[in-house]
Structures are given as structure tokens and as C-alpha cells.
Amino acid sequence: MVDIQITYQCNNNCLSCIIPEKAYCKEKVEKDDVIRLLDDENPEIIAIGGGEPSIDPDFFDILRFAAEKNPEAVIKILSNGRYFFYEESVKKLLKVIKGNDNKFEVHISIYGTEKVHEKITRSKNSFKQTLKGIKNLLDSGIEVNLRIIVNRQNYRNLNELSDMIVEDLDNINKIIFIFSRYMGKAQKNIEEVSVKYDESVEYVQEAIDILQKGFKGVIRLYHFPTCVLDPEYRSLVHGMTKESGGVTFLDICSECIFKNDCSGIWESYIERFGDKEFEPLNP
């Protein structure tokens, strides 16, 4: 898998973003480096993210180049979806998709219903644009997956978000709950963002219960160590956002039957809350 950040700029300013505040962050990604990366490797999956990749002037050129160079690769666009509020943007994306054989997926971050979403994005009208962006993509037959970053600001709102998805967005392909990593802006805003698994997991499980009654797509949990979940939710633990970067296991994990399937624990979580919640699962 190749994971490329094509820009650090964004039209949201999310509390829980792992990219640092602009002042501390490299302003520009060199396009030659992006092109070289796509040229050198022969990946099965290419994830194109940022910042917000769709606001980069080279977005469609990079997308086209990635697809033409790697016709077998699955191309994932990691976006906040606001750009797809504009039907013209969806048409441009469709043109790239139709001109190539690759499988394309758009992964959109949504945090909650309107008030909660915008408390996290700190950007007025971001919810309205994201929601319309999702609907525009779905109406054009483009595969959309939702990424819900779980943090202190949204865990109590997840059931309402699930209700909204069931009612309004039931042709989404996949919903991924991702437990927040405290890095970049999320580290700076750690008091507002951080929440313990002990406190938040039952709300995540309730949100899943709602989805499982009305949503036909796939549900996944990223960065939820298996031992913090009730048994019936453990099979949803599947995959990570990045291949094990920033993740650790404890000495006790060697006694656990889930060691090979578990996503491990964010190092930044242990620094914040310690390791008392985790215990090996045995037959």
C-alpha cells in the first residue's frame, strides 16, 4: 500500500486531526516526490489524502497519473467530502473513474450530526457540504465509505449519527469507526479530544447496534484493542489506518489469543491514560 499526503492544507480545522497546526507544518508537498512514489512502487492500494486532497490544484492530475501507472490498484481518496458538494467536482471525478480500470473508493470523515460535526471541524457549513457531497457521490454511483473518528467530542452523539445514516445514507458501502490518535492537532487539543475506552466503547457499541438493524454495508473497528470490546463486537476489529505506526503491544499481550488479530494500542493513548484497561483474553 502507498499512502500519500498530497497537501497539508485543509478547508476544515479539525480538533482531532493528526496533522499539526499550520504554523508548525511544512506548507508544501513536493509534487515530484508524489509522482516518484507512484512511479517507483507497484502497490495494490493507493491512498490519496492530505490535508484535504481535493482542494489541491494538482488533485485530478495526480489521481489520473496514479490510476494510469497502476491500473490494477485500488485507489482510495481520503477526503472531508466538502468539495463534492459541487456537482461539477463530482463530474470531474467521474471522468477520471470512467477513463480508468481501477476500483475507486472515496473515504469521507464524518464526526456526528451537524452541531457535533462542526464543533470538531471548527468550520461553519462543513456539515451541510459534507452531507451533500456524500449524497452527490452516491447518486453518481461512486463508492463511498465513512470514517468516524471517535473522540471526547462525539462519542455520546454516535447513536444519533447512526440513526441519520440508516435513514438517509443506507447505500454507503462501509463504515469504519477509528479510535483517535493523539498526534498533531489532536495532541495539542488533548484535553478536548481524549477519552478512555472505558468511557466511550459502550456508546460505540450502541451505535453499531443501531447500524446493524438498518444498514446493509460493512462495519469495521480500527484501533480498538480487542480486549476493550464485548465479545459480539470483536469480529469487527479489522485493519488499521496505517500499518502499525505509533502502535504498541504490552508484555501481557503475549498471553492473549487475539494477539495476531488485535490492532494493538496507540502509544499516545498509553502516555495519556496508562495501560490498566487492557488484559489478555484466554479461551
Give the residue, chosen from 265, 266, 269, 273, that forms a contact with ligand SF4 under the rule CB under 6 A.
Answer: 265
Q: How far is the CB of 234 from ligand SF4 (least distance, A)?
A: 9
Does residue 8 bind ligand SF4 (CB under 6 A)?
no
CA-closest candidate to residue 4, choices 92, 75, 93 = 75
One-letter-per-residue 3-state SS of 33-98: HHHHHHHHCCCCEEEEECCCHHHCCCHHHHHHHHHHHCCCCEEEEEECCHHHHCHHHHHHHHHHHH
Q: How far is the CB of 282 from ligand SF4 (least distance, A)?
A: 10
**DSSP per-residue string spanning 24-35:** GS-S---HHHHH
Instruction: Give first-to-last CA distance, the chain, whole Å.
Output: 34
In the three-class reduction of DSSP (H, G, I as helix; E, B as strand; rest coil), residue 193 is classed as: helix
Residue 156 C-alpha cell reads as 455520546
The whole-angstrom separation of Cα 253 and Cα 265 is 11
Single out the segment in contact with ligand SF4 by CB under 6 A; choices: 35-43, 126-134, 135-143, 250-258. Answer: 250-258
Number of residues forming the site for ligand SF4 (CB under 6 A): 16
Nearer to ligand SF4, 92 or 259 (CB): 259
Single out the segment in contact with ligand SF4 by CB under 6 A; choices: 44-52, 147-155, 186-194, 259-267. Answer: 259-267
The whole-angstrom separation of Cα 157 and Cα 135 is 21
Give the residue, chosen from 200, 226, 241, 268, that forms a contact with ligand SF4 under the rule CB under 6 A.
Answer: 226
Single out the segment in contact with ligand SF4 by CB under 6 A; choices: 168-176, 182-190, 203-211, 225-233. Answer: 225-233
Does residue 256 bind ligand SF4 (CB under 6 A)?
yes
Q: How far is the CB of 240 from ligand SF4 (least distance, A)?
A: 12
Give the residue, chosen from 49, 51, 112, 225, that forms a contact with ligand SF4 under the rule CB under 6 A.
Answer: 225
Residue 116 C-alpha cell reads as 457535533
Q: What is the DSSP letter of 144?
A: E
Q: How far is the CB of 239 from ligand SF4 (least distance, A)?
A: 14
In the three-class reduction of DSSP (H, G, I as helix; E, B as strand; rest coil), residue 247 is classed as: strand
Does residue 221 bind ligand SF4 (CB under 6 A)?
no
Does residue 277 bind ligand SF4 (CB under 6 A)?
no
Nearer to ligand SF4, 65 or 258 (CB): 258
Quote the radius of gyration of the chain (alpha carbons, Å): 19
Residues interacting with ligand SF4, by CB under 6 A?
Answer: 225-227, 249-250, 252-253, 256, 258-259, 262, 265, 278-281
